[in-house]
Amino acid sequence: MSNLTDAPNFFIGRSEAIAQNDKLSNKARQSLYTARAANTVDAYRSDWNDFCDWCSYHQLSSFPAEPETIVNYINDLADNAKANTIARRISALTENFDAAGLKENPCRYPIVKNALRGIKRMKGTIQHGKAPILFDDIKEMLTYLEGDEIQQVRDKAILLVGFYGALRRSELAGIDVEDLKFTRLGLLITLRKSKTDQFDQGQMIAIPMVKDKEYCAVTALQKWLDISGITTGPVFRGLTKGHHVRKTRISDKSIALIVKHYAGLMGMNPDDYGAHSLRHGFATSAAQHHVEERQIMRQTRHKSQAIVRRYIDEADRLIDNPILKITEDSH
């Protein structure tokens, strides 16, 4: 994160407008400063940095910025980014200019709104998420584990815990030993920070032991902790070239690369898969086995029923498909 801390003219989280408002008490200011979750602020900071880098390259002012600069920036961004990514980037810039206390926010000019509308019309706003890795895929994926024993044990634990826990990649990377509680029935994981836990109250994930130890996430995680000697701090860590366990936490991008790597070994297109494929795959697999919607949501921690129902509908299209009835009746 070190590259995110030095963003020039980044005001979100330390709003000048709030600081200069004499009508607010210090306590009131503090609550406003912490209104956004830390990961949201980091995402905004990253987006702001990208804009500043673009402006620097084109020798334009990022702060203050002209509306035309914003328009040219998002059109360049549109060459490689999805419409929804561009809209999020505009949101970050808008929030930062607002936090700076500018009377005229360049992002709020009609020319910027019209440019964004035009980009959305050209590119469309359908989000193409990563393909799901289903339970049968996980079982096959585990047959492709490679590297020495310590890498195989780590990768297996990452895949199984990520799948059964329906974890986001940042959640999986962020687990510490202190967040784990092993019991006779399985494992409880406390997530200190989560996308749907904006006030950092913590969320509990339960992963029971399963009969087949080959596919048991609890067993896999215990073996990883034993072989790595990790007793405190980050659970999942990177490995040196000599395959010694690092002291630092694995990055969420590394987790995505691990998933992509094994998907490729299975003969699937790595571009279609990522860390989210584990979470998506769990929800779809549960739906295929007719698990109730509320039970799926309890494990995935989705706040939106619409998203979970999309997974259920996706599974139903393959299970309750007329093709199956036609082909089965022909035998």
Catalytic annotation, residues: 168, 195, 276, 279, 302, 311
Strand, helix or coil for residue 189: strand
Give the separation between CA 285 and CA 135, rounded to whole angstroms.
Answer: 6
Q: Of 125, 136, 124, 299, whose CA–CA distance to 203 is shortest?
A: 299
253-256: long-range contacts at Cβ-Cβ below 8 A with a sequence spacing of 24 or more? 253/169, 254/173, 255/158, 255/162, 255/169, 255/172, 255/173, 256/169
What 8-state DSSP symbol labels residue 191?
Answer: E
Give the separation between CA 247 and CA 238, rounded to whole angstroms.
Answer: 8
Strand, helix or coil for residue 148: coil
What 8-state DSSP symbol labels residue 215?
Answer: G
CB 87 within 8 A of CB 96: no
